[in-house]
Amino acid sequence: MTTIDSTPDATTVRYAAERPARLNWAEHAPEVYKAMVRVDAAARKGLEPGLYELVKIRASQLNHCAFCLDMHTKDALAAGESVERIIQLDAWEESAHFYTEKELAAIELTEAVTVLTEGFVPDEVYDRAAAHFEEAELAQLISAIAVINAWNRFGVTCRMAPGHYRPGQRS
């Protein structure tokens, strides 16, 4: 059995050192942080909690934000999301059968908004989302996608360290 215990009998696993954050931006820009928390709370209103977390996880995967991946996968698991659906999210196109049509439309829209490589969100992607969401809910979804992208940019730029978040901590 491999452990991270340092007793003489145990096999010791040496993990890479955790990199310190570059900047605690929330401490130095508290009004921006508080505003982000308010915008995030407003964006989640009217969205199914599971869908909201899937969107947060997918955008964070695309943006390589380890801090947000840690947070949102833990929150999703605590809310009852399955490990299998979280794992398959990175390959959602090949694993479409794990998700509802509505979730697939939200995930596809998340990718289009997050990765604007074409410079716009394709009409067919927007139209698929619009077919599954009423306009008010679609506006909330777009808001949630925009907010997680902003959080991801803070997390990645400031190199916020994953692994310390506990489910529900941000509430």
The reported pLDDT for the residue numbered 11 is: 78
- Structural tokens at position 26: 């929330």
Q: How far is CA 159 from CA 9, 30, 64, in A?
A: 36, 18, 11
Burial class for 1, CB neighbours closer than 10 Å (0-12, 13-18, 19+): exposed
The reported pLDDT for the residue numbered 125 is: 97
Q: What is the value of pTM for the model shown?
A: 0.88
Q: Which residue has the higher pLDDT, 7 or 84?
A: 84
Closest Cα partner for 44 from 137, 152, 168, 127? 137
Contact of 114 with 7, CB cutoff 8 Å? no
> pLDDT at residue 19 above 70?
yes
Structure confidence by residue, pLDDT tens digits, 64-113: 999 999 999 999 999 999 999 999 999 999 999 999 999 999 999 999 99
Q: What percentage of residues in the chain have a pLDDT greater than 70? A: 93
Closest Cα partner for 158 from 68, 76, 35? 68
> pLDDT at residue 43 above 50?
yes
- As a whole number, the mean pLDDT across the chain is 92
9-18, 33-42, 44-53, 132-141: least confidently modelled range: 9-18
Give the whole-angstrom CA distance, residue 54 versus residue 106: 9
Q: What is the pLDDT confidence band of residue 168, given thresholds at 50, 70 and 90?
A: confident
Give the whole-angstrom CA distance, residue 44 versus residue 48: 8
- Structural tokens at position 23: 């900047």
Structure confidence by residue, pLDDT tens digits, 108-130: 999 999 998 878 999 999 999 99
Q: What is the 3-state secondary structure (H, E, C) of the chain?
A: CEECCCCCCCEECCCCCCCCCCCCHHHHCHHHHHHHHHHHHHHHCCCCHHHHHHHHHHHHHHHCCHHHHHHHHHHHHHCCCCHHHHHHHHHCCCCHHHCCHHHHHHHHHHHHHHCCCCCCCCHHHHHHHHHHCCHHHHHHHHHHHHHHHHHHHHHHHHCCCCCCCCCCCCC
